[in-house]
Amino acid sequence: MDSAARPILFVSLPESGLLNPLLVLAGELARRGVPDLWFATDEHRRAEVEALSDASPVSFASLGEVISELSAVTWGDDVYREVTQSSRFKAHRAVIRQSYKPALQARKYRALERIVDEVRPALLVVDCVAGFAVDLALTRNIPYVLNVPFVASNVLTSHNPFGPSYTPKNFPVPNSGLPLAMSGRQKLANTLFKWRTLGMFMNPGMGRVLREDAAIRKELGITPPNAMTRVDRAAAVLCASVAELDYPFDVPDKVHLVGAVLPPLPEAPDDDEVSSWLDGQSSVVYMGFGTITRLTREEVGALVEVARRMADTHQFLWKLPKEQQHLLPAAGELPANLRVESWVPSQLDVLAHPNVSAFFSHGGGNAYHEGVYFGVPQVVRPLWVDCFDQAVRGQDLGVSLTLDRPHTVDPDDVVDKLTRVTTDPSFRARAERLGALQQAAGGRKTAADLVLDRLTTA
């Protein structure tokens, strides 16, 4: 078979932060006319995948309906409160307990197994959180490219004191939100984070889960991995970042830092309404907190108050999901400088607009890199896991500020942070410099070239 006609199968969990970069990458290959492109994810994302077809089609392969226990968007409010609590370690532990469900992961593994038997891919391109896809690639000996939408250290740093790691011994543990330059107390917290993670797996309840996992792996013939197997065995690792947006360490050769993986812009050229409104403003603060954040009535009211207090200096564009808009005050009570949308056709087009002065976000991997890519200063209210890591890096790099108490919304604090990042020109200057480095890294084009290179050598 001609190497240019060997199937590439993309595999991703359905969460937007993981899925979107792979949709962009698959779309780039489709525009280039690369044949035999397949994309496996949960059923409700079918239309987005099928819309990627261009010079060549992208075939959708269903992994079935969403399994609510595995999808953060559908977790109950009690779980949401656990995984977003103020204790970094307890939140980290809650995420592991909630998402480490061997029997449910096995359902996705079996669904992907059927797809692989049909497609017979020469190469998988896998989101780094889709462990079932890495397991299948290893068990079937299928070459795979791992896609990382976070800073590279997120997947290269061990969570326990004895695990293999590509970063130095005292490097901040992922999900800890700790800086590189730590106080003595922070160094102790960093060490304890690793030991407590190790200890978590010695708990009797977790022991039962480990035994269940071992039994399922034996039944399915899955190769048991270690903590760094997904990186070590990958044909390549694509990271949507650059070295300058992380703390310094020696990045292994197989990890390719390509910068933010974004589609061609404008992404929504027919969006006259929002773009025309942006054209007519002198300064806009864009507020978007991702698809997982669930604001309370008090937090929504506090954000409305922030817009009211800054009416003399900024307009506000707020992407607030429709299901949370009932928490807003009555329409007549909203300040005139606040525009609320349940969805914007393209967050990227908004961030690229020259009149956007600041981005107020949850600090997720995509948000962090997209804001910097377009040279926009940021204020961050980190939500959970990796958000705290990106927030502390952005603050140390001088491109963002983090709320003092991110588990509340204090209007005084938010107004202070937004005022500082929009009036001190150094924030924009540093963001623009780092954004230029991301743009030079090549993004989707470099990522597509690397995938095709791995295909020809598979």
Digit-coded pLDDT (tens) for 101-118: 999 999 999 999 999 999
pLDDT one-digit tens code per residue, 296-348: 999 999 999 999 999 999 999 999 999 999 999 998 899 999 999 999 999 99
Are the beta carbons of 18 and 127 closer than 8 angstroms?
yes
pLDDT at 438: 98
Are the beta carbons of 240 and 234 closer than 8 angstroms?
no
Is residue 78 scored above 50 in pLDDT? yes
pLDDT at 56: 97
Measured from the Cβ of residue 321, the count of other Cβ atoms closer than 10 Å reads: 15
pLDDT at 280: 97
pLDDT one-digit tens code per residue, 363-414: 999 999 999 999 999 999 999 989 999 999 999 999 999 999 998 999 999 9
pLDDT at 1: 33
Q: What is the mean pLDDT of residues 241-266?
A: 97
Q: What pTM does this model have?
A: 0.95
pLDDT one-digit tens code per residue, 362-371: 999 999 999 9
Q: What is the mean pLDDT of residues 58-86?
A: 93
Q: What percent of the chain has pLDDT over 70?
A: 99
pLDDT band, residue 23 (cuts 50/70/90): very high
Q: What percent of the chain has pLDDT over 90?
A: 93
pLDDT at 2: 42
- Token pair listed for 176: 């800890």
Query: What region, left, alpha or beta, does residue 107 occupy, with left being phi > 0 and alpha being psi -120 to 50 degrees?
Result: alpha
pLDDT one-digit tens code per residue, 203-245: 999 999 999 999 999 999 998 777 799 999 999 999 999 999 9
Q: What is the mean pLDDT of residues 36-53?
A: 98
pLDDT one-digit tens code per residue, 133-148: 999 999 999 999 999 9
pLDDT one-digit tens code per residue, 170-209: 999 999 999 999 999 999 999 999 999 999 999 999 999 9
All domains in the chain, ordered by first residue? 3-259+442-457 (3.40.50.2000), 272-439 (3.40.50.2000)
Amino acid at position 215, single letter: A
pLDDT at 185: 97
Angstrom distance (rounded) from CA 151 to CA 162: 22
pLDDT band, residue 5 (cuts 50/70/90): low
Q: What is the CA radius of gyration of the chain?
A: 22
Phi, psi of 164 (to 5 degrees): -65, 145
Is residue 4 scored above 60 in pLDDT? no
Is residue 77 scored above 80 in pLDDT? yes
pLDDT at 3: 42
Is residue 283 scored above 60 in pLDDT? yes
